[in-house]
Amino acid sequence: MNVTRCAALAPALALALAACREPAPPGRTGGADPQARADSVVERNLDERIFERNVVFLTSGRDSVLVVPWFFTSLARRGGTTRRVRGWLARADRWEAFFDERWQTPPERAPFRILPRGPVSLIVGLDDALERISFEEGPRRLEVVLDALVADWAGAGGESFRIHEGALQLGDRQVPGRVLDMNRSRRTTDVPPGDWIFLEGGPDVAAVFEARIGVPATGQPYSGWARRGEASLRWTNVEVTWDEVRAFQDARRDVPVAWSLRSPDGEVAGALRSVAAWLAAGEGSGPLLPVDGLFQVGGTLLIEGDSIPVRGLVRHVQY
């Protein structure tokens, strides 16, 4: 297994390398080990459950934008676990899907743990904290580094969002930024989760918005969280509207390319527009096919009356 622990661990712990544990499905936050938050979830229903771990690097500051999403998904059944790892790179307003692999494993005690695969390796530090995701294949070397924790939020459905200071190592170049580490899980019989948004507004602002229902549509209610300086902000009801759509012919659906958001009390509002999109049509029997999408976006957020330029990622799905 291509998982590395920091040398600071005691020698006895090195024997447990093969069983290293990653932060997993969400629950209580506030600095607690994410691993402990997962155990009760798995014990309640191991038969048919989907675990989702999304790690997204986003450049901070006003330099050119780099976005690197890593998506780890596992479907746990009694007969075994189906896993998938995907990686993308967005730069110069263009998307590249550089890694996508599925595989099967025998039944696992902890299917929520993310695992390395082929050219994808993980570095884990003290308290089983994910520190790096590395990709090395041929001449390409790409590494996402998670440093100090900036914010830690939990959603009503048990999902968790952790914002870290971080960096991207791209070849010989290192770029500072922010990293979102997001966990959520559900039963296969549950309504699939909806869209989410990760935004960065310079060194003092980072925000996450998540659709409260899984049916994609304009005017959906979202929950929102933000870190502004030392203040942590939360909005329980933010309406996100599709201001503009375009046809995605492969799926025979319309997809949004511009969004506006606003809370009823006006404490947060904003406008976002797609800069570059990655879209894929899924398989299906009907005339309308599923949509799997990533949008690099730019725009503004109004927080408590202050206008803040932001850029970031919109994750968009249609089932």
pLDDT per position as a tens digit, 164-194: 999 999 999 999 999 999 999 999 999 888 9
What percent of the chain is predicted at pLDDT more than 70? 84
Whether 162 and 176 map to the same domain: the answer is: yes
Residue 62 confidence (pLDDT):
64
Of the candidates 251, 260, 169, the residue with the CA atom closest to the CA atom of residue 219: 260
Question: In the listed set 190, 211, 229, which residue is the last one of a domain according to the structure?
Answer: 190
Residue 129 confidence (pLDDT):
87
Name the pTM for this structure: 0.85
Whether 175 and 203 map to the same domain: the answer is: no
Whether 129 and 215 map to the same domain: the answer is: no
Whether 198 and 269 map to the same domain: the answer is: yes
On average, the pLDDT of the chain sits at 87
The domain containing residue 264 runs over which residues?
191-319
Whether 220 and 174 map to the same domain: the answer is: no
Nearest 5°: the CA angle 194, 155, 60 is 80
Whether 33 and 143 map to the same domain: the answer is: yes
Residue 315: Cβ within 10 Å count: 21
Whether 19 and 63 map to the same domain: the answer is: yes
Q: How many domains does the chain have?
A: 2
Compute the distance between CA of residue 24 and CA of residue 34 in angstroms, rounded to an integer: 6
Find the CATH number of the domain harbouring 197.
Answer: 2.40.370.10
Whether 115 and 85 map to the same domain: the answer is: yes
Question: In the listed set 167, 190, 213, which residue is the last one of a domain according to the structure?
Answer: 190
Question: In the listed set 174, 190, 206, which residue is the last one of a domain according to the structure?
Answer: 190
Whether 47 and 186 map to the same domain: the answer is: yes
Residue 38 has pLDDT above 60, yes or no: no
Whether 24 and 39 map to the same domain: the answer is: yes
Whether 174 and 136 map to the same domain: the answer is: yes
Compute the distance between CA of residue 298 and CA of residue 36 in angstroms, rounded to an integer: 36
Q: Which residue has the tokens 């990686």?
A: 87
Whether 240 and 139 map to the same domain: the answer is: no
Residue 22 confidence (pLDDT):
45
Residue 125 confidence (pLDDT):
84
**Section 123-133 average pLDDT:** 89
Compute the distance between CA of residue 98 and CA of residue 187 in angstroms, rounded to an integer: 29
Residue of 38 and 138 predicted with greater confidence: 138
- C-beta of residue 126 within 8 angstroms of C-beta of residue 6: yes
